Amino acid sequence: MSIPNTKTELLHEASRMLLSKGLNGFSLQELAASLNIKKASVFHHYPSKNALAIELYRFYQNAFIAWVEKYNHLAPEKQIMQYAETLTRWISEKQRVCPVGALSLEWQQVDPDLQTEIKKLHELQKDWLNSLFKQMDISIPRGEAVICTMSLLQGSLQLARITGDPNLGKKNLKSYLKSIKA
């Protein structure tokens, strides 16, 4: 069993705050207080809130890559369904938002370096879906299937959060995937 360190605890707590309140919804002082540490300890690990957010999105990228590797043995459609189920459950149960969509409302104020990391996470997900649809016999262009799937998931995640129905994304995606089979 690993012993959590301050930097890891900061990342996890910052993630919780970011996905429930947005980047501008919490301060580094609030983050420090929630962990019973001094604000100076936060700055010891991260020189700014933006540096913390960049590290957080790199953490999300690595978590997504690890998730893909874990479920790579499943058939493409099952991988997509498993992702929708995992993501929707994780977001609905904790009343979070999707990491890619978390900063969409304040996108124009997001630092360009942070925007780059968010886009990298988005591209990882897009490339993964593209590789899965490449293996499937579908009736629409692959790029269209990818963007429609991402849009459907994003909308379903928001609705699942509002309605409290963690199965919404899975139901919608299952219906969509059935509709695009060749």
Q: pLDDT tens-digit profile of 144-166?
A: 999 999 999 888 888 877 887 87
Query: Two tokens at 163?
Result: 């309605």
**Mean per-residue pLDDT, 37-51:** 92
Query: How many domains are contained in the chain?
Result: 1
Of residues 128, 143, 155, 145, the one with CA closest to residue 180: 145
Q: List Cβ<8 Å contacts ≥24 apart for 125-133.
A: 125/64, 125/100, 125/150, 126/150, 128/64, 128/68, 129/80, 132/76, 132/77, 132/79, 132/80, 133/76
Is 42 within 8 Å of 31 (Cβ atoms)? yes
Query: Is the whole model's pTM more than 0.95, yes or no?
Result: no
What does the alpha-carbon distance between residue 63 and residue 96 come to, in Å, rounded to a whole number?
Answer: 16
- Whether residue 56 lies inside any domain: the answer is yes
- Whether residue 102 lies inside any domain: the answer is yes
Q: pLDDT tens-digit profile of 51-84?
A: 999 999 999 999 999 999 999 999 999 999 999 8
Domain that holds residue 137: 6-179
Q: Provide the CATH number for the domain around residue 140.
A: 1.10.357.10
